[in-house]
Amino acid sequence: MDKREHNKPDVIDEDLYEEFDEEELYELVQEEKKKAIERAEQRKNNPTRRPFPKWIFWIIAVAMVINVLALIPQTYSIPAIEFLKTSASLTLDEDIQAYKQAVVVVETENSKGTGFAISSDGAILTNHHVIEDKRNLTVAFPDHGLFEAEVVKSEPSIDLAVLQVDGEELPHLTLAESPAFEQDQAIQFIGNPLRFNGIANEGNIIGPTKLDGWEEQVIMIEAPVYRGNSGSPIINEQGNVIGVIFATLNHDQHGKVGLFVPIDLYFKYVKK
Active site residues: 129, 159, 230
User: 170, 121 in Cβ contact below 8 A?
Assistant: yes
Q: Minimal CA–CA distance to 175: which of 192, 160, 185, 165?
A: 160
The SS3 of residue 24 is: helix
What 8-state DSSP symbol labels residue 253? T
Query: Sheet holding 145-148: strands in order across?
Result: 145-148, 138-141, 103-107, 112-117, 123-126, 160-164, 150-155
Q: Minimal CA–CA distance to 262: which of 226, 214, 228, 227?
A: 214
User: 261, 155 in Cβ contact below 8 A?
Assistant: no
